[in-house]
Structure 1
């Protein structure tokens, strides 16, 4: 109930104090991690699209299967005038329900204040950005006392395959089966496969980044789809979905 109240407060704040008028709801859309529309069962998040004269508003809601909020973003997209950059305000929560991050973006760049909170929901870092450029940063201890920031405050960890890179190479070596059709025609090359490693370590939204042939592409996708669960990526101490690319080279020896 608390999360629902937070969501309603955030999404309703923009209209506070203004004359209320009906806002036409165009659609509720379901997206994958690539922001492509997909059926609800395959969605990573849902988007409520609303239109007013000169502007489109997208309210994106990421949630768990139990409907606990993970992230809420409001994006405003001007449809008239010369400045059509989107502005986005995002709030994220940790797995324990505590506030995690509140930040804003202009276009695809951080712009404005980025606030990060610790596992108990206490402010631990405030950074000010201007179109992606960091202007200032201030960190805080558990008592709220200001202190200098260290490199660890910005720690990021990429997702890892079980056993690391050696484990992945071993998995690919024993899993790949050279397609007979490709052997017959002498087809070789490097297939690049992109996917997201979710905050739970699952592989989602697999796609080809570089194709070689139908047979080799299909085998590369099969092997990626069959991968075991990864160790998720981490940002600011919280597991996050991360885009990852794996090259798979097919060579006839």
Structure 2
């Protein structure tokens, strides 16, 4: 075969804009699809699992789990429990602040919950009329107070939960790390 020679020259702005315009709809649709998929995954399961054995079991790391831990009655019962037991933090309610906190904990082999912590807390919306009257420093303090309130309330409710059905791997009950997103929305 004969060697072919190619000339590479930089594209001008019009060429870049033309390519972008041709592909914008595809890019937008793909981005929208990916975001929708990520959102559905996060709310339908809200689970990230990894083996979290006790110190005696640290040599065994499970990459495949036969059965994930489950709240008694399944996802619907878990959502119902959260709705019935969550109390909106007063400071957040008065300020019109909404948010989401991800709680991480271990579901032990006996179904109990331990190692509970808030790993991510985000303010998703707030009442602009309230915040516009505050200084930037006061806004930051209020957001932190609301985030702390969300984390404390989510932890309180998770501690109220009954024992879960534990995870299983290789026919044995195992400890598993579990992440649960908890939303606080004013309606």
2:166 aligns with one of 214, 218, 232: 232
Matched, 1:162 2:96: no
- Partner of 1:57 in structure 2? none
Q: What is the deviation of 1:189?
A: 1.1
Q: Deviations over 1:90-112 (max 9, x none)?
A: 3xxxxxxxxxxxx6x8xxxx9xx
Q: What is the deviation of 1:34?
A: 7.2
2:119 aligns with one of 209, 214, 230: 209
What is the number of equivalent residue pairs in this alignment?
113
Larger Rg: 2
Q: Equivalent residue of 1:157, what SS? A: coil
- Partner of 1:38 in structure 2? none
For normalisation by structure 1, the TM-score amounts to 0.41
More helix by share: 2
Label 1:243 to 1:178 Cα distance change in 2 as closer, same or farther (>3 A): same
Q: What is the deviation of 1:185?
A: 1.2
Label 1:155 to 1:179 Cα distance change in 2 as closer, same or farther (>3 A): closer
| 1:155–1:237 contact (8 Å) kept in structure 2 | no
| 2:68–2:166 contact (8 Å) kept in structure 1 | yes
Matched, 1:188 2:98: yes
Q: Equivalent residue of 2:78, what SS? A: helix
The correspondence of residues 98-177 of structure 1 with structure 2, limited to 5 A, is 156-177=66-87
For normalisation by structure 2, the TM-score amounts to 0.55
4+ residue segments displaced more than 6 Å:
none
- Partner of 1:178 in structure 2? 88
C-alpha distance in structure 2 between counterparts of 1:221 and 1:188, whole Å: 17
Q: What is the deviation of 1:186?
A: 1.3
User: Which consecutive residues of structure 2, in runs of 5 or more, have no partner in the other structure?
Assistant: 1-50, 123-146
- Partner of 1:245 in structure 2? 179
More strand by share: 1
> Which gives a bigger RCO, structure 1 or 2 (Cα 8 Å, sep 6+)?
2
| 2:52–2:177 contact (8 Å) kept in structure 1 | no
Q: What is the deviation of 1:221?
A: 1.0
- Partner of 1:147 in structure 2? none
User: Which consecutive residues of structure 1, in runs of 5 or more, have no partner in the other structure?
Assistant: 1-32, 36-43, 46-61, 63-70, 74-89, 91-102, 111-131, 133-153
- Partner of 1:222 in structure 2? 156
Label 1:195 to 1:233 Cα distance change in 2 as closer, same or farther (>3 A): same
C-alpha distance in structure 2 between counterparts of 1:231 and 1:34, whole Å: 16
